[in-house]
């Protein structure tokens, strides 16, 4: 991290960060969208006017304001306006509907709710009123406006809870994750430090700004002073024109995004899909080693992958100058200030190279959950967050994730890593994507089931063919799938497009 970025990372609040960057490089762009742009100076000045308009409506420090808005310049302005006031923000992914939105509004006790009106064929304003939301207002093309002279002093405390993010709901209600300005700055600083970017780069936000990755990425822009292209709706090949037009140098999001770029590259081998692109980066979902090697080999760009979650926006990240082996097979190393502890079932430390439960402690870790009982269950006696992930640290300090606790399949008393089988399946030429799950089995306890997508024109897969291939790759016999399901598309969430394994378990458990 350069000296300026390092100094900025010590900012106490997000508004400190905005104000300092605006004074350093007021005329440099920060957000690009279509033919529109916003400079760092405009971000500060316009956000203050929006803050004044919100203040006139009654928003004060500590007021809970929920917003369900797409990835737009206006969304960033509203969010930073709330940060200027010191309100508590509850971002809600714009694809969520009545059940999830109603839960978030009730649990957060939101006093205001900003919506986009009718967006992509769905009337968010009508839903808000249907749910009985308080003080509903639309914030798409127009935002509240006022005279900044009415505003109180900016918040000075960066360790108060001012953010409520929502974990993706699976079979139960989502959890409200409590963050501070400082925890979000720490997460963004980790990302910025690992990727080694500069003021000459151009980034991209192809994910919902309401995701925890929104502030994570924006903090990086503020630290380094470079812009990012915002995509209200991301789809390839439609988005390629903006990537090329703005000269994007860094793209990504998650493994699914890498695969989409690869698919476009394969349409025109040898012709760069985005000529200025030099780095794909992301996290949020497992990355098979074969995806790394394919990106480097076919696209001619570097790929760095990391590990993060709603509770800890950035934990580890691969560095562009790391070895190919580490970039392909690990999640990178933690930054200074992030402690990773690998423990056994009793909480005793595991040595390097030995799998165990992954636990975390550091400034980027959330303060807990809205529900105090969930907070008590989530942290151990030493203050480490219990992630539910399984993995190990290498001798060089790189983290290798081998799965989730619930992704460990226990077959006849033997632990089987779903991730190990998935990585091997991704090498198969007739497999486009794969998810391995454990299903209840009266005889074995659990049986191994492989669920796969096939690329267009691929020969039909059979269980015998898959098991023969896996045996040829050296997989132990007791880990071989006993069930194969071929689907048109694996179920994914709408944020980083992670595979929803619980839906697969529900579908194929019979």
Global pTM reads 0.85
User: Cα-flanking dihedrals φ and ψ of residue 508, to 5°?
Assistant: -105, 10
Token representation of residue 270 = 């040898």
For domain 412-508, give the CATH number: 3.30.300.30
Going by CATH, does the domain composed of 3-182 fall within 3.40.50.980? Answer: yes
3-state SS, residue 502: helix
The CA distance from 202 to 248, in Å, is 5
Q: What is the pLDDT of residue 256?
A: 81
The CA distance from 502 to 131, in Å, is 27
CATH fit for domain 235-404, picks 3.40.50.12780, 3.40.390.10, 3.20.20.60, 3.40.50.1970:
3.40.50.12780
Domain with CATH 3.30.300.30 in the chain: 412-508
Q: What is the pLDDT of residue 168?
A: 66
Q: What is the pLDDT of residue 7?
A: 67
Q: What is the pLDDT of residue 170?
A: 45
Domain with CATH 3.40.50.12780 in the chain: 235-404
In our burial notation (b when 16+ CB lie closer than 10 A, e otherwise), range 72-87 reads bbbbbbbbbbbbbbbb
| Cis peptide bond prior to 237, omega within 30° of 0 | yes
Q: What is the pLDDT of residue 171?
A: 45
Average pLDDT, consecutive stretches of 10 residues, N- to C-terminus, the chain (510 residues): 71 95 98 97 98 98 98 98 98 90 96 98 97 98 97 96 83 84 93 90 95 92 97 94 97 88 93 96 84 95 94 92 94 92 94 95 96 95 93 95 79 79 92 91 85 94 95 87 95 80 86
Q: Name residue, tokens 């595979």.
A: 499
Q: What is the pLDDT of residue 1?
A: 64
Domain with CATH 3.40.50.980 in the chain: 3-182
């Amino acid at each position: 991290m350069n000296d300026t970025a390092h100094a900025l990372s010590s900012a106490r609040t997000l508004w400190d960060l905005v104000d300092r960057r605006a004074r350093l490089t007021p005329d440099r762009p920060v957000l690009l969208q279509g033919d529109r742009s916003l400079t760092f100076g405009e971000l500060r000045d316009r956000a203050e006017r929006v803050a004044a308009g919100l203040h006139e409506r009654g928003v004060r420090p500590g007021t809970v304001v929920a917003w369900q808005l797409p990835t737009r310049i206006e969304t960033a302005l509203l969010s930073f306006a709330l940060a200027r006031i010191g309100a508590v923000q509850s971002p809600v992914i714009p694809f969520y509907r009545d059940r999830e939105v109603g839960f978030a509004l009730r649990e957060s006790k939101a006093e205001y709710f900003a919506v986009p009106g009718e967006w992509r064929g769905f009337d968010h304003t009508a839903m808000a009123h249907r749910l009985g939301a308080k003080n509903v207002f639309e914030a798409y093309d127009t935002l509240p406006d006022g005279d900044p002279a009415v505003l109180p002093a900016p918040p000075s405390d960066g360790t108060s809870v001012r953010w409520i993010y929502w974990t993706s709901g699976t079979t139960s209600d989502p959890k409200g994750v409590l963050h501070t300005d400082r925890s979000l700055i720490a997460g963004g600083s980790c990302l910025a430090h690992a990727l080694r970017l500069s003021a000459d780069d151009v980034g991209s936000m192809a994910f919902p700004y309401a995701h925890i990755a929104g502030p994570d990425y924006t903090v990086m822009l503020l630290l380094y002073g470079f812009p990012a292209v915002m995509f209200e709706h991301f789809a390839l090949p439609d988005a390629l024109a903006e990537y090329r037009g703005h000269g994007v140098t860094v793209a990504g999001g998650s493994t699914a995004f890498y695969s989409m770029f690869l698919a476009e590259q394969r349409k025109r081998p040898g012709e760069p899909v985005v000529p200025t692109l030099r780095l794909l980066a992301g996290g949020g979902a497992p990355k098979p080693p074969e995806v790394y090697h394919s990106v480097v080999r076919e696209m001619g760009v570097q790929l760095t992958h990391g590990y993060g979650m709603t509770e800890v926006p950035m934990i580890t990240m691969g560095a562009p100058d790391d070895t190919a082996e580490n970039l392909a097979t690990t999640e990178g190393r933690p930054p200074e200030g992030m402690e990773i502890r690998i423990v056994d079932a009793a909480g005793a430390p595991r040595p390097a190279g030995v799998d165990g439960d992954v636990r975390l402690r550091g400034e980027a870790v959330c303060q807990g959950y809205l529900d105090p009982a969930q907070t008590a269950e989530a942290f151990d006696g030493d203050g480490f967050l219990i992630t539910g992930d399984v993995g190990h640290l290498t001798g060089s300090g790189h983290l290798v994730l081998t799965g989730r606790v619930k992704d460990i399949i226990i077959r006849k008393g033997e632990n089987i890593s779903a991730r190990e089988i998935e990585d091997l399946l991704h090498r198969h030429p007739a497999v486009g994507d794969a998810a391995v799950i454990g299903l209840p089995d009266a005889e074995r306890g659990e049986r191994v089931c492989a669920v796969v997508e096939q690329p267009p024109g691929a020969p039909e897969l059979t269980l015998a063919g898959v098991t023969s291939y896996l045996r040829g790759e050296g997989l132990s016999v007791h880990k071989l799938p006993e069930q194969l399901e071929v689907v048109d598309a694996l179920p994914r969430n709408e944020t980083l497009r992670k595979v929803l394994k619980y839906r697969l378990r529900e579908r194929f458990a019979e």
